[in-house]
Amino acid sequence: MSAWRVSRAGAPSAPGALLAPGDKSISHRAVMIAALARGESEIVNFLPGSDCLATVAALEQLGVRVARLARDRLLVRGAPRLLSPAEPLDCGNSGTAMRLLAGLIAGQNVAARLHGDSSLSRRPMRRVVEPLRRMGACIKALGRDGRPPLRIVPGEGLRGISFTPSVPSAQVKSAVLLAGLGARGETCVKEPAPTRDHTERMLPSFGCSFDRANGSICLTGRQPLRAARINVPGDFSSAAFLLLAGVIGPVEVRVDSVGVNPGRTGFLRMMERMGARFRVAASGKAGAEPTADLVAEPGPLQGARLPASLVPSAIDEMPAIFAAAACARGETVIEIEGASELRVKESDRIAVMAAGLKALGVACEETPDGASIRGGTVRGGEVDAHGDHRAAMAFSILAFAATSAVTVRGAELVDTSFPGFAEAARQLGLAVEPAG
């Protein structure tokens, strides 16, 4: 379904507790680290979206055996040594797959070529290529200005380095740490600002020790890894769109077993600044990750200034924040510093969201690295998500506030992160139909 027509459907009723799909970031990391571990690792609640399945297919090409015990449950037999694949590795639409696989493969000193779809081919890879080269990797971005495809060839082996990313990035940090698993000596990453720490939380489950102090993570390479059982929590980024529906829709929404890693929950703090009400119905853990049953209550939103400090912990949820700002009274300002990363996600999310809101009658001024949005009446109309799964979900949920139906074009990639989103939207009280 390349386009959806979304509108409110009938009298509202409480949808009951919903579940978000397995966390995409954790699913990627679990299967990659399991690929290097001795024995068979079981991954439960794995996200069977196209992004994570691209990672699985790539690892199988590298000689890793993966058995599908169920749609969302995998058994991964680690390879004693990765093999150089005969064909290029297709990362599809996934920047996480490409960046993390680049680190993993470089650390194992095998040859590979990584490519992706047209969207991924526009995303910057220099931020990963440069630290891997410093470690001794023979890696090159073949596209213009450091963009994909990537080519990796064997060299003399990697050595550990101390590295400080110029821009906070969990993907860059994780790529360097995964490369460090196969490097000689110690690899340290010092973060200029905290980012999601799924890799660090997961490594001890596989028997890998590391030191963390003063914003640095340091690990010694070539530690033996052992198989583990990883329980993947519900994806907070997917849950955010369901919670948005609970705030701007007619009835409260509860989402159970959501991962609430502190590096991921900036969305809640931003929304609370705008007056949204959330409560925790229960707390728990999925392995090393904290989880919670979250409830979002309907209520009015007020425009707010959203500080740059919250952007890194809400980077994937910013389309939902744009949608919420469209429903708020007054002006919402997304501060300039810290928002530029939105320009190089699956789409230029600032431009896509600003153009879509304007098409729905919302006053939105795009700045080079942010936006200011004056909420008010949201009209129906047609928007283009430009193939960005999160923008498509944000515009779909915004139909709760629209005066007539919203047609969302470019929605075909929603399954990359949220298989079954259309059905979840129907449970929330939206009519989601194919659009011509």
160 close to 202: Cβ distance less than 8 angstroms = no
Q: Dmax over Cα atoms in the chain, in whole Å?
A: 66
Among the candidates 231, 255, 284, a domain finishes at: 231
Residues 297 and 422 in one domain: yes
Residues 192 and 72 in one domain: yes
Enclosing domain of residue 131: 24-231
- Give CA 75 to chain center in angstroms: 23
Same domain for 152 and 238, yes or no, is no
pLDDT tens across the length of the chain (436 residues): 479 999 999 766 778 899 999 999 999 999 999 999 999 999 999 999 999 999 999 999 999 999 999 999 999 999 889 999 999 999 998 999 999 999 999 999 999 999 999 889 988 899 999 999 999 999 999 999 999 999 999 999 999 999 999 888 899 999 999 999 999 999 999 998 888 899 999 999 999 999 999 999 999 999 999 999 999 999 999 999 999 999 999 999 999 999 999 989 999 999 999 999 999 999 999 999 999 999 999 999 999 999 888 887 888 899 999 999 999 999 999 875 544 555 444 458 888 999 999 999 999 998 777 889 999 899 999 999 988 899 999 999 999 999 999 999 988 789 888 999 999 999 999 999 998 7
CA distances from 95 to 98, 124, 154, 384 (A): 5, 9, 23, 21
Residues 110 and 221 occupy one common structural domain: yes
Summary count for the chain: helices (H), strands (E): 12, 24
How many structural domains is the chain composed of? 2
Same-domain status, 227 and 237: no
Domain-terminating residue out of 231, 261, 293: 231
Cβ count near 368 (within 10 Å): 9
Q: Where are the alpha helices (DSSP H) in 40-80?
A: 50-61
Tokens of 294: 């979250």
Based on the residue annotation, tell me whether 316 is a catalytic residue of this protein. Answer: yes
Does 51 share its domain with 103? Answer: yes
pLDDT at position 380:
94
CA dist 188 and 49 (Å) reads 32
Q: Are residues 31 and 9 in the same domain?
A: no
Q: Give me the catalytic one of 23, 197, 235, 316.
A: 316
- Report the CATH number that the domain containing residue 63 is assigned in CATH: 3.65.10.10
Per-residue pLDDT, 341: 54
- 10 plus 81 within the same structural domain: no
Q: For residue 279, what pLDDT is reported?
A: 97
How many angstroms separate the CA atoms of 188 and 87, rounded?
33
